[in-house]
Structure 1
Amino acid sequence: APMDRAAFTRWRAAFDALVSCAASDAPEARCTEVWRERTSEFFGEVASERIDAMIAYYVRARLRAPREERFRYCAH
């Protein structure tokens, strides 16, 4: 089902928290916890291990990638 404005605001806040976590010295596992804690309402029966693996990859391969690589994927 489509998100209403309130749900989108919560999703966006969760994404902002994930990006902030990835920009910090926090362990990758902590960033996946932040994401899961803030987005659990959206995933229902999706296995948390699957979510953790996808977010860990995103943090490692995109958000914490070397600057040159990261800017290929993110707006400057």
Structure 2
Amino acid sequence: MAEVEIKKVMETDQAGIKRQVFPETHVNAVLGLENIATIGTGVTSINGKTGDITLTAKDLGVEGTGITIDKVGSV
């Protein structure tokens, strides 16, 4: 797989505050995108859980945030 250099893009607004900007890109610039059709889409499990699931912050390694992610659509 090709190594990708990641750079943060910043600009300074009229008040002199630096803000991160997120430039748009073209689909052809996404490395490996052409392989998705052969791999498949979607997931069959999350952290070893299948079916109707509710993830907790602990499942994602972010304990203490009170975050839960309920199933939306099919998993």
Same fold (TM over 0.5): no
Which one has a larger percent strand, Structure 1 or Structure 2? 2
Which one has a larger percent helix, Structure 1 or Structure 2? 1
Higher Rg of the two aligned structures: 2
With normalisation by structure 1, the TM-score equals: 0.28
With normalisation by structure 2, the TM-score equals: 0.28
Bigger relative contact order, structure 1 or 2, given CA contacts below 8 A and separation 6+?
A: 1
